[in-house]
Amino acid sequence: MSTDLPDPPIPAGVDLQGFSFTPLYRARFFGSAFHARSTDGEWRAGVTLDLKAWDQVPAGSLPDDDIELCRLAELGRDMKTWRKVKPMALHGWYRASDGRLYNDVVAELVMSALEKKRGQTDRTAKARQVAIARRLIAQAGTSTSVTRAQPEQQQTLLQTNLCAVTDPVTTSVTESNRREGNRSEEKIPAPQAADAPIVVVQPSTREQLFRAGKQLLAKEGISSDRAGGFLAKLCKEHGDDAVLRVIEEAQTSPPAEPKSWLTAALARAKGTRGKGRRSTEVGQQDYNEDWRPAA
């Protein structure tokens, strides 16, 4: 390297091979001296080198070697033709202190593309954080409660679940980043929630009874869909709390035929409740008659 040469306009290690889009300013290009003065062969070799420079490392640079440049220009081993077209094909290119060739126009476009790539990486990372949070909540069975929670409670729950991830969330940005030195992966720290209160969301009564009820009915060979329909019918007739109580009783002493047992147990419980109400009504009627004034 020479200290008399300018510094590279592009940082070392920048790799855009995974960024397939190459911008082109039409008016700027067709108004250039290169386009006006070059022959067909020179124009073809120059444009080819401009485009292939994007796949070099650093992106937007070229090797200062005639054999490599000849092949990059799609001239194969035809060094005679390369030497003929070289001066105009490399119009605007100069040697930098790192020993590679650069073009200020190409470098400007490369740096703009690099910013877009970093923005895309940031958006991908944020989307992954949201997906992980949703997956954690779904695994905990709290999705219904979270949607009903207040916005600040939702945020606290998301932070609490994210902090449960022991390893930092990582993302492989693109295949190109694997060639940027040590930037093979970008570490994305989980949100800090050390000072946030922990929100404990308990499953609802219906969630508990459906989960336990399906497990109980599965022992009788009843599918999850059929069990769900059967449990929904019981809840409509007897109420969620009553159905949950008999399911918990069945879990303590599992019956041979859970479906029939649940139906009978709920019928007995309903009869007992109805009998109690009738007794209370009769007693109240007797009380009223005893204190009714004589005619």
Query: Which sequence spans correspond to the domains of the chain?
Result: 26-109, 209-290
Beta strands in 37-178 (DSSP E): 61-63, 93-95, 100-103, 169-171
d(CA 153, CA 135): 17
- H/E element holding 268? helix 258-290
Confidence (pTM): 0.42
What are the φ/ψ torsions at residue 103 (nearest 5 degrees)? -130, 130
The pLDDT value recorded for residue 48 is: 95
d(CA 136, CA 113): 35
- H/E element holding 186? strand 186-188
Tokens of 16: 């855009």
d(CA 215, CA 229): 14
SS (H, E, C) 105-138: HHHHHHHHHHHHHHHHHHHHHHHHHHHHHHHHHH
Per-residue pLDDT of the chain (295 residues; tens, 9 = 90+): 556 899 999 988 888 888 778 888 888 889 888 999 999 999 999 999 999 999 999 999 999 999 999 999 999 999 999 999 999 999 999 999 999 999 999 999 998 888 887 777 778 888 888 888 888 877 776 544 444 444 555 555 555 555 444 444 444 444 444 444 444 444 445 445 444 455 444 567 788 888 888 888 888 889 888 888 899 999 888 888 888 888 888 888 888 888 888 899 888 887 766 555 444 444 444 434 443 444 4
Q: Rounded to whole angstroms, what are the CA distances from 168 to 129, 154, 185, 274? A: 11, 22, 11, 59
